[in-house]
Structures are given as structure tokens and as C-alpha cells.
Amino acid sequence: MAAARSFSKAENNVTSQDERTSVRLHDPLLRGFASDNYSGVHPEILAALAGANEGHQVSYGEDLYTERLHEVLVDHFGPGLEAFPVFNGTGANVLGLQSLLPRWGAVICARTAHINSDENGAPERVGGMKLLAVDAPDGKLTPELIDAEAWGWGDEHRAQPLAVSITQTTELGTCYTPAEVRAIADHCHARGMHLHMDGARLANAAAYLGEPLRAFTTDAGVDVLSLGGTKNGLLYGEIVVALNPEATVGLKYLRKMNMQLASKMRFISAQFIALLEGDLWLRSASQANAMAARLRTAVASIPGVELTQDTQSNGVFATLPAGVADKLRETFRFYDWDEARREVRWMCSFDTTEDDIDAFAAAIRRELA
């Protein structure tokens, strides 16, 4: 038998630093207002990834970073929770809702909710659940709106409404107060339903409300939370947080079945530790919110711009005269929200600057002069 060979660090470094090339394919000065997913990774998150990269750690979540992440989450949301890091927001939402429902269960949500309008058929096809969507003009559900679909229990011809999903902040940029979440949670629980919160922009809600994260989640009666990170400066990764583990079934197994179990989980966990252990989550969200507020102020007085929603997070919604949006998109990319109404959405990110806002507002003013 040949003797085992010992490799030196130099031999393992197959490609020397001089041989490596870094090719940048984009203009780093380019700014867009289409999505907070357009931004890069926050430098503090990149540093955390680099720090977690040395040496070996146990895979599939048995690493020191995922253990520490649990402690950080307890600091924010309180004891007794269970946490399941996953790859993306769609996976977090489907997984969290699946854990609340039997196969015959249905979810009540706003028609504009991401699970209903932007996740293809994932909740239905992968999660196996029916969505019962109701109109919510400002994106926010109320107990009265929930009751439009909260009926038919015991009727074998109807999918059973057993969960409600709300989004914080909503797809329209509006924000639930702690009292509003509590009213929905109490309404759900009194009817035998559980409450899921899609928290893709949870940090933006906390920045707007001036409240700790648990004030409108754990303390307000939310059972399961999809905790977002990607829109707040992470490379990738979200967390399903079972705030009320007694309401969930099978999260450990469902995560693997849904292809959301990361083998090198330390790289999701390390990012969230960097985000949540200090105040990076709040600094980044506050910057995005402040830039949206600056944009709203800058365009509010421009003739032809009609603001359509309150600006309570990092998004501004407005209508523009015909043709103006396409002209602006030659320089600044953004999305139509409601094409029939000529309504557009402008999103700000943690790295949006005052100069970015001022340049965009000046472009809008020029087009409408």
C-alpha cells in the first residue's frame, strides 16, 4: 500500500494569487431602482463569509456558526424558538406554510402577497396548498378581510382555511403595526388558524416602526416567520423561524424534502450572525428607508408624478404619464407595478446614496419638464 501523502498549504493552493484574474463585467457606478435584490453584498457580510471560510466545520447545520445563530435569534425573538436556515425566500415561505398545514389546508393571503403573485406556482405545486387570495388595497389584511375566505370548515368540498400569511412590510411598501398584527393573530387563533409572516423586509419594518423585531412577531402572536436577509445585504439566505414550534410539524424533514437543506450551512449562518449580532440589520434598513423617503419628497412636487401608496419602508409607488417610464428606463432600471394604471415601483437598497436619489429625481424632472 502506498504511503499516504501529506500536502502542504502551498501545494493545496493550486492557483497562485498572481495567476488569478478578476474580470468585472458591469459598471460599479450603475444604479437601479427596480429591486433591493439588485444591490451587492454588504462589505461586513463579505468579511464574515471570509472569516467563516477557513478550515473545516461539520456540515448540514451542526457547525458552530449555526449554533451561535440560534443564540442571536433568541436575543431578538425570545426563547423557545426553532430556526431553519434556507437558501431563498420562496423556499422559506413554502416551507414555513407547509409546516402549519395538513394536505387539505389552505392559506388566506392578500392578492398582492408575494406567495400569490411572484412565486410562480411554488406554494401550490411544491407546497401542495391552496391559496385563498383577498383584495387588500394597501396590501394589508385585516380580520374583516380574512373573514371573506375564513369559512367552510368541515365542508369536504372546500380546502380548509387553516393558516393566514401576512407580509411585513407588504408588497406595496406599507407596514403593519404591532397592534394590527396582534389583532390578526388573535382573530386567526380564535378560529383555529395559525399565522405566518413573510418577513423578507422585516428589518425595514422595524426601522420604520422604531420597534424591536419581536414586538411585531413573537409578542404579537406570529407562529412562523420567514426571516429575510437577501434584501438587506446578504449574498443569499433566509431563515424559517418557528416562533411557536407547537404549531409546526416536520420542519426538519420538510426542509430536506424541499431541497432547502444547505450542506455548508455555516455560510448562511455566518451572514446572519454578522447581520443580526450588532446593528448592521438596522443600519442597512434605515438607510434604504431614508433614501425612499428622500425620493418621495423629491418627486412629490413634480407635475405628472402621482404618488399612490404611503412610503413606510424602502419603496415608492407612483403613476407617470404615458411613455415616461420607458424613457427613464434607458438610464435607470425599474419595474412597472400596474401597467394598466401606468403605476411604477421604485426600490431603494442599503447602498443607495443621496447622490443616487438626486440624480434619479433630476432625470424624472427633466422628462416631465
Q: How confident is the model at residue 21 (pLDDT cuts 50, 70, 90)?
A: low
pLDDT digits (tens, 9 = 90+) for 297-348: 999 999 999 999 999 999 999 999 999 999 999 999 999 999 999 999 999 9
d(Cα 315, Cα 9) in Å, to the nearest integer?
48
Beta strands in 13-80 (DSSP E): none
d(Cα 146, Cα 150) in Å, to the nearest integer?
6
Nearby residues of 347 by Cβ (< 8 Å), 6 or more positions away: 33, 34, 35, 36, 38, 292, 314, 315, 334
d(Cα 94, Cα 73) in Å, to the nearest integer?
21
Cα 216 to chain center, whole Å?
16
d(Cα 316, Cα 322) in Å, to the nearest integer?
18
Whether the pLDDT of residue 14 is over 50: the answer is no
pLDDT digits (tens, 9 = 90+) for 269-302: 999 999 999 999 999 999 999 999 999 999 999 9
The yes-or-no answer to whether 43-276 and 280-368 have a common fold is no
- Do residues 68 and 75 lie in contact, with contact meaning Cβ atoms separated by under 8 Å? no
pLDDT digits (tens, 9 = 90+) for 175-226: 999 999 999 999 999 999 999 999 999 999 999 999 999 999 999 999 999 9
Q: Where are the domains of the chain?
A: 43-276, 280-368
For domain 43-276, the question of CATH label 3.40.50.300 is answered with no
d(Cα 90, Cα 114) in Å, to the nearest integer?
9
Quote the percentage of the chain above a pLDDT of 70.
94
Specify the fold of 280-368.
Answer: Aspartate Aminotransferase, domain 1 (3.90.1150)
Q: Residue 11: what pLDDT? A: 47
Paired with 107 in beta bridges are 131, 163
